[in-house]
Amino acid sequence: MGLMMVSVVRTLVARAQRGPLRPSWGLGFEVIVRTLRADWVGLSQWPVARGRAEMEGRRFPSDVASKATRTEVRDGAIVGEWMKGAHAAPREDGVVLYLHGGSYLYGSPRTHADVIARIALASGREVFALEYRLAPEHPYPAQRDDALAAIAWLEGQGVARGRVVLAGESAGGNLVLATLLALRDAGGGTVAGGVMVSPWLDLTSSSPSIARNLDYDYGTREMLVGQAKQFAGELALDDPRVSVGRAAPAGIAPVLVQAGTSEMLYDECKQWVETARAAGVEVVFDEAHEMPHAPPFFAAQMAAGAKAVEAIGAYVRGRLGG
């Protein structure tokens, strides 16, 4: 609450001097973004374990998540949670495998329950949110291996991989692409499609929008690079195995890429879309006007955030039918 109050005062002073930070941003939304930025930068300076405990202990929005049935799963190495709306299609007709973000260091199905529930309701499909292993205890490729294991587990549950849409935001978007590339290289068939929301594609954080959109987003280059190093382990940050935007994309499944036009990762997302299309990948690029990182997380505050959720739901239905 103290952080929020400081953000309110600073935002009021700033808006009195220069007006809204972005034309479509009201006072409340500008306060939220300023608070998030201070929060994330502060958490990044703590030991990772402390930051995780802080996040897991928070009260997150529950009004949408309460509209879905939640079922925890612990089946050997597979840990996660099913999220199901009241009118979800049968599981064998197709599901969403959700890979949460959090810089590969933080997050879980619990911290992301609101957005997972929104996608479940918007798509009319069950969503399985995987609790994959986190860095730095488990650097690359643990997360990719966990995602591949989850796909195999779903097949064992009667869901063919061709009836699975992978989805994830930020680091989860990176993981979606890493998994699609691994499936392509393995040659055993791929999934129905992927949804990459604000994917973290260049771990060197070298695209122009990193600096251009700094004031409109809730991270810093220093924070991103520091977190990337903990995930990459012994690999260089520009290695295409971790900076998956540098990997040749030809032959992967169709994807939806969604990015806020005011987020720091915007340019790397747009560049990857152009590269993937040139390589013959079927790509839909959904640009959320003046939104910061991960637009669907702001569905309750901004129309553009709600529209982003609707776009994901429509894409999933298009890939799976119905």
For the cut 90, the answer to whether the pLDDT of residue 201 exceeds it is: yes
Tokens of 54: 């802080």
Largest CA distance in the chain: 59
Cα 20 → chain centroid: 27
Domain with CATH 3.40.50.1820 in the chain: 61-320
Q: Convert the pLDDT of each residue in 210-242 to its tens digit.
A: 999 999 999 999 999 999 999 999 999 999 999
Give residues with Cβ within 8 angstroms of 32, minimum separation 6.
298, 301
* In contact, 117 and 68? CB cutoff 8 Å: yes
Reference 220, options 257, 175, 265; nearest CA is 265
Q: How far apart are CA 35 and CA 151, in angstroms?
A: 36
Q: Convert the pLDDT of each residue in 13-47 to its tens digit.
A: 999 999 999 999 999 999 999 999 999 999 999 99
Reference 297, options 132, 168, 165; nearest CA is 168
pLDDT (average), residues 118-132: 98
Q: Which amino acid is at 29?
A: F
pLDDT (average), residues 188-193: 96
HEC assignment per residue over 182-205 = HHHHHCCCCCCEEEEECCCCCCCC
Q: Which residues are catalytic?
A: 170, 263, 293
Q: Convert the pLDDT of each residue in 273-301 to its tens digit.
A: 999 999 999 999 999 999 999 999 999 99
Share in percent of the chain as helix, strand, coil (round to 5):
45, 15, 40
Q: Considering the chain, what percentage of its residues have pLDDT values greater than 70?
A: 99
pLDDT (average), residues 94-100: 98
pLDDT at 135: 98
Judged by DSSP in three states, 14 sits in helix
> Could you tell me the pLDDT band of residue 2, with boundaries at 50, 70 and 90?
confident
pLDDT at 16: 96
- Distance set, CA 301 to CA 28, 31, 199, 255 (Å): 8, 11, 22, 26
For the cut 70, the answer to whether the pLDDT of residue 1 exceeds it is: no
pLDDT at 322: 66
HEC assignment per residue over 142-180 = HHHHHHHHHHHHHHHCCCCHHHEEEEEECHHHHHHHHHH
For the cut 60, the answer to whether the pLDDT of residue 209 exceeds it is: yes
> Could you tell me the pLDDT band of residue 61, with boundaries at 50, 70 and 90?
confident
Q: Considering the chain, what percentage of its residues have pLDDT values greater than 90?
A: 97
Q: Convert the pLDDT of each residue in 248-263 to its tens digit.
A: 999 999 999 999 999 9
Q: How far apart are CA 234 and CA 198, in angstroms?
A: 25
- DSSP string covering 223-247, please? HHHHHHHHHHTTS-TT-TTTSGGGS
For 55, the enclosing helix (H) or strand (E) is helix 48-56
Judged by DSSP in three states, 72 sits in strand
Average pLDDT of every residue of the chain: 97
Give residues with Cβ within 8 angstroms of 124, minimum separation 6.
85, 87, 88, 89, 313, 317, 322
Vertex 185: Cα angle to 182 and 190 (nearest 5): 70
Which fold is adopted by the domain 61-320? Rossmann fold (3.40.50)
Vertex 250: Cα angle to 246 and 256 (nearest 5): 80
